[in-house]
Structure 1
């Protein structure tokens, strides 16, 4: 007789349901939640900006307990809220014309600094 083979104490991993297929990027599968670091890279903003706004509830986000996450819908809403419509070209700033001699103060009405310091000196 053959001895019984030793039984493994490990359980096999659960089989995936037959209707679930992993194709890699479809949104109709399971929802994807991004960490603040991943979301910041996708939005091209700093992670601190993202965390600060989410903490103040100024942007849509998802809290899983104490963990901050961003769904694809959250990221789309952040982008939509930040979008500004094109308003055309900005008007040019008018430059101030250079001062004319009449705009300058009259030099005779003000004492110059060098004159004031020369008269106040006492020689010893």
Structure 2
């Protein structure tokens, strides 16, 4: 596997605009995709994309009730 870019937690946190501590906590709990190289935590482009996708919320649509 060549050409894979791995980001440190600090780099990924800056990119995602979240706290590094939040990112590390979620990764340690295996709540978000990540890569551990030994004890070193890293994030690939695919991991970051998956984190963003998982956090996306669909807009709420108003349900009209028909009145009789």
Q: How does the TM-score come out when normalised to structure 2?
A: 0.85
SS in 1 for 2:42: strand
Match of 1:42 among 6, 15, 24: 15
Structure with greater strand share of residues: 2
Aligned length: 61
CA distance in 2 between counterparts of 1:77 and 1:54 reads 13
Structure with more relative contact order (C-alpha pairs < 8 Å, separation 6 or more): 2
Q: Which runs of 4+ in 1 moved over 3 A?
A: none
Question: In angstroms, what is the RMSD of aligned CA positions?
Answer: 1.3
Q: How does the TM-score come out when normalised to structure 1?
A: 0.47
Structure 2's unaligned 5+ residue stretches are 63-68
